[in-house]
């Protein structure tokens, strides 16, 4: 026995439906002798969290307010639980097949707790202005996150399946109440979210190396010949390349889609692995039906920028006309004025998108960028569908759309959470103006039948009607 010869890579979305992930893993596992998972062996103790908070406070706050709130909230809505879908699935499959489970990840909390002096100094330098100018608000912000987010997650990890999620839901309500009425630092969660995002992007290669080294070491000790590594979808490209560098054969890779059937790529030759690039399509894996391409994402970003400029102009005018006199007359406090302004902006942004998408299927930005919103069956949006699609927009704005970007990159049709709830999709207009150097014949789009509202030359859209029998490629 030389060592582990075949390693299947099972790429999941952490916030997916555990039942769906379990069924896919059952089928994918095949003859695997063990299941490895992107999860720290033994979990993360409170002392490790404390060490991370003292050494890298910006990353610590980011883990709480970006990862935990976004991930925890979605998990609560999807499965009424706080455990990641892959952890639930691995435990179920391992129990059914009597397979051993090995956690092999260097969790970001562990890495932050052992960070070097340069990273620690940078973290404190980033947070120093906030701590100096609003120390009470910063302390309340951190304490609320620890009590309302970290404690429920820890209790769930200890086996309290109902108590943990219940306390988490109550904690979120408490955090919102404190943010509205009490001393609360809005800047602190924003700094934390940006810090953890940068840290995760630049640390992903290191984590991939750590996981593969631990997989190889454990497999050598236990004598495994074939195993499956269950990991986040964002790790697939890097793991596939680095596995080839270590002489491992990757016979199959599963690419998951949120609340939809995943797609398995087989017969991957080591010589082809260097061509798999992180960030291209679904981490560079050439699979059918993946049309969430870079160009479309750039068009959506352009449309969003134009839309928020338009909303901002109207919002500023409304503030001067209505809110400013109200503050002067009522002598409202700074906190009340701030939250009134924030709330009015959110309502205006939601209303702007709902009205324009209901009437035209496009906002000003989407029309300029050559995009249109329709149902997944090609139907037009009504007012209810547009409202459902945009109801979560304030949450996206609160997280700087970082969470939304993760969902868009994790779904086969590039859908946001609102799209998934409303069963809508953003597609390219068939005859949108082409950029310089782009051929006028766009093979990626095709006209859909004319509808009563198709009296505009820009209303021909790509057909997004699904084919029930063609797997993930049915979307295009």
User: DSSP assignment of 112-128, as one string?
Assistant: HHT--HHHHHHHHHHHH
- 303 and 224, same structural domain? no
Calculate what percentage of the chain has a pLDDT beyond 90: 10
* Domain termination site, one of 243, 275, 307: 275
* Domain termination site, one of 275, 302, 330: 275
- 206 and 88, same structural domain? yes
- 316 and 212, same structural domain? no
Is the distance from CB of 191 to CB of 6 less than 8 angstroms? Answer: no
Number of structural domains in the chain: 2
Sort 119 into a burial class: Cβ within 10 Å, 0-12 / 13-18 / 19+: middle
Residue found under tokens 């790790």: 235
- 425 and 373, same structural domain? yes
- 45 and 76, same structural domain? yes
Q: Which residues fall within 8 angstroms of residue 146, CB to CB, at 6 or more apart?
A: 64
For residue 455, is pLDDT > 60? no
- 447 and 304, same structural domain? yes
- 88 and 196, same structural domain? yes
Task: Report CA-CA distances (Å) from 182 to 9, 133, 175, 325.
Answer: 47, 16, 10, 24
Which residue range forms the structural domain that includes residue 456? 294-475
Q: Which residues fall within 8 angstroms of residue 450, CB to CB, at 6 or more apart?
A: none
Question: Based on C-alpha coordinates, what's the Rg of the chain?
Answer: 24
State the Cα–Cα distance between residues 90 and 99, nearest whole angstrom.
Answer: 9
State the Cα–Cα distance between residues 441 and 146, nearest whole angstrom.
Answer: 55
State the Cα–Cα distance between residues 100 and 87, nearest whole angstrom.
Answer: 13
Task: Report CA-CA distances (Å) from 403 to 57, 124, 196.
Answer: 21, 25, 12
Whether residue 289 lies inside any domain: the answer is: no
Q: What is the pLDDT confidence band of residue 63, given thresholds at 50, 70 and 90?
A: confident
Whether residue 214 lies inside any domain: the answer is: yes
pLDDT number for residue 468: 35
Averaged pLDDT for residues 52-66: 85
For residue 47, is pLDDT > 50? yes
Is the distance from CB of 285 to CB of 236 less than 8 angstroms? Answer: yes
- 271 and 303, same structural domain? no
* Domain termination site, one of 275, 304, 320: 275
Q: Check residue 379 and report its DSSP letter.
A: P
pLDDT number for residue 34: 93
Q: Residue 441 has which token pair? A: 């014949």
The string of DSSP letters for 243-259 reads HHHTT-B--EEEEEETT
Average pLDDT, the chain: 75
For residues 276 and 14, which has the higher predicted lDDT (pLDDT)? 14
Task: Report CA-CA distances (Å) from 192 to 24, 260, 377.
Answer: 34, 31, 39
Averaged pLDDT for residues 411-422: 77
Q: Which residues fall within 8 angstroms of residue 319, CB to CB, at 6 or more apart?
A: 341, 344
C-alpha torsion 10→45→67→205, nearest 10: -50
State the Cα–Cα distance between residues 56 and 237, nearest whole angstrom.
Answer: 28
Lowest mean pLDDT among 124-128, 139-143, 405-409: 405-409
Whether residue 52 lies inside any domain: the answer is: yes
Is the distance from CB of 307 to CB of 353 less than 8 angstroms? Answer: yes
Averaged pLDDT for residues 169-188: 83
Please give the span between the terminal C-alpha atoms of the chain, in angstroms, as a whole number.
Answer: 45
pLDDT number for residue 2: 56
pLDDT number for residue 258: 74
- 203 and 68, same structural domain? yes
For residue 250, is pLDDT > 60? yes
Lowest mean pLDDT among 226-240, 290-304, 336-350, 426-440: 426-440
Let me know how many helices (H) and strands (E) the chain has, helices first.
20, 8
For residue 173, is pLDDT > 80? yes
pLDDT number for residue 399: 63
Whether residue 77 lies inside any domain: the answer is: yes
Element (H, E) at 35: strand 35-37
For residue 316, is pLDDT > 90? no
pLDDT number for residue 126: 85
- 310 and 421, same structural domain? yes
pTM of the model as a whole: 0.63
Whether residue 338 lies inside any domain: the answer is: yes
Whether residue 467 lies inside any domain: the answer is: yes
Is the distance from CB of 217 to CB of 3 less than 8 angstroms? Answer: no
For residue 333, is pLDDT > 70? no
Calculate what percentage of the chain has a pLDDT beyond 70: 75
- 194 and 167, same structural domain? yes
Residue 257: name the closest of 419, 82, 462 by CA: 419
pLDDT number for residue 92: 94
State the Cα–Cα distance between residues 205 and 421, nearest whole angstrom.
Answer: 33
State the Cα–Cα distance between residues 16 and 258, nearest whole angstrom.
Answer: 6
Q: What is the pLDDT confidence band of residue 35, given thresholds at 50, 70 and 90?
A: very high
For residue 297, is pLDDT > 80? no
For residue 474, is pLDDT > 60? no
For residues 451 and 244, which has the higher predicted lDDT (pLDDT)? 244
Is the distance from CB of 273 to CB of 240 less than 8 angstroms? Answer: yes
Element (H, E) at 172: helix 163-181
Q: What is the pLDDT of residues 73-120, one digit of tens each?
A: 777 877 788 888 899 999 999 999 999 999 998 877 888 888 888 888
For residue 267, is pLDDT > 70? no
Is the distance from CB of 373 to CB of 389 less than 8 angstroms? Answer: yes
Sort 133 into a burial class: Cβ within 10 Å, 0-12 / 13-18 / 19+: exposed
pLDDT number for residue 1: 42
- 309 and 224, same structural domain? no
For residues 272 and 91, which has the higher predicted lDDT (pLDDT)? 91
Q: What is the pLDDT confidence band of residue 130, given thresholds at 50, 70 and 90?
A: confident
Task: Report CA-CA distances (Å) from 70 to 49, 100, 344.
Answer: 19, 30, 23
Whether residue 346 lies inside any domain: the answer is: yes
Q: Which residues fall within 8 angstroms of residue 412, CB to CB, at 6 or more apart?
A: 257, 260, 289, 290, 291, 292, 472, 475
For residue 219, is pLDDT > 60? yes
Whether residue 422 lies inside any domain: the answer is: yes
pLDDT number for residue 330: 52
For residue 473, is pLDDT > 50? no
Averaged pLDDT for residues 408-434: 71
Task: Report CA-CA distances (Å) from 93 to 33, 222, 283.
Answer: 12, 19, 26
State the Cα–Cα distance between residues 67 and 204, nearest whole angstrom.
Answer: 15
C-alpha torsion 419→421→422→428, nearest 10: 10
For residue 271, is pLDDT > 80? no
pLDDT number for residue 328: 52
């Amino acid at each position: 026995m030389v060592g582990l010869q075949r390693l299947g890579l099972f790429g999941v979305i952490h916030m997916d439906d555990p039942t769906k992930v379990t069924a896919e893993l059952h089928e994918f596992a095949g003859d695997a002798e063990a299941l490895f998972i992107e999860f720290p062996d033994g979990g993360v103790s409170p002392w490790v969290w404390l060490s991370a908070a003292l050494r890298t406070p910006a990353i610590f706050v980011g883990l709480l307010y970006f990862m935990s709130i976004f991930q925890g909230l979605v998990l609560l809505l999807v499965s009424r639980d706080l455990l990641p879908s892959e952890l639930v699935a691995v435990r179920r499959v391992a129990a059914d097949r009597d397979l051993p489970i090995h956690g092999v990840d260097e969790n970001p909390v562990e890495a932050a707790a052992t960070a070097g002096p340069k990273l620690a100094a940078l973290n404190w330098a980033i947070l120093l202005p906030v701590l100096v100018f609003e120390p009470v608000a910063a302390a309340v912000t951190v304490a609320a996150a620890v009590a309302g987010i970290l404690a429920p997650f820890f209790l769930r990890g200890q086996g309290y399946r109902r108590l943990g999620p219940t306390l988490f839901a109550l904690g979120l309500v408490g955090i919102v109440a404190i943010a509205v009425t009490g001393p609360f630092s809005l800047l602190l969660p924003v700094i934390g979210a940006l810090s953890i995002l940068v840290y995760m992007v630049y640390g992903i290669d290191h984590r991939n190396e750590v996981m593969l080294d631990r997989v190889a070491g454990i497999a050598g000790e236990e004598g495994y010949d074939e195993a499956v590594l269950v990991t986040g979808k964002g790790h697939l490209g890097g793991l596939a390349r680095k596995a080839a560098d270590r002489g491992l054969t990757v016979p199959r890779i599963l690419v998951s889609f949120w609340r939809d059937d995943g797609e398995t790529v087989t017969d991957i030759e080591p010589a082809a692995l260097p061509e798999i690039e992180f960030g291209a399509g679904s981490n560079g894996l050439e699979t059918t039906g993946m049309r969430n391409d870079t160009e479309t994402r750039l068009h959506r970003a352009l449309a969003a920028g134009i839309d928020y400029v338009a909303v901002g102009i109207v919002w500023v005018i409304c503030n001067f006309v209505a809110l400013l006199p109200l503050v002067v007359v009522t002598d409202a406090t700074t906190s009340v004025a701030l939250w009134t302004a924030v709330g009015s902006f959110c309502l205006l942004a939601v209303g702007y998108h709902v009205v324009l998408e209901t009437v035209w299927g496009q906002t000003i930005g989407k029309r300029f960028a050559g995009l249109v919103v329709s149902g997944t069956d090609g139907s037009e949006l009504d007012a209810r569908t547009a409202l459902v699609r945009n109801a979560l927009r304030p949450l996206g704005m609160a997280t700087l759309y970082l969470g939304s970007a993760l969902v868009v990159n994790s779904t086969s049709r590039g859908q946001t959470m609102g799209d998934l709830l409303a069963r809508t999709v953003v597609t390219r207009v068939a005859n949108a103006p082409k950029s310089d150097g782009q051929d006028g014949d766009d093979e990626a789009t095709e006209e859909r039948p004319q509808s009563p509202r198709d009296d505009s030359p820009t209303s021909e859209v790509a057909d997004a009607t699904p084919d029930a029998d063609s797997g993930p490629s049915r979307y295009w």
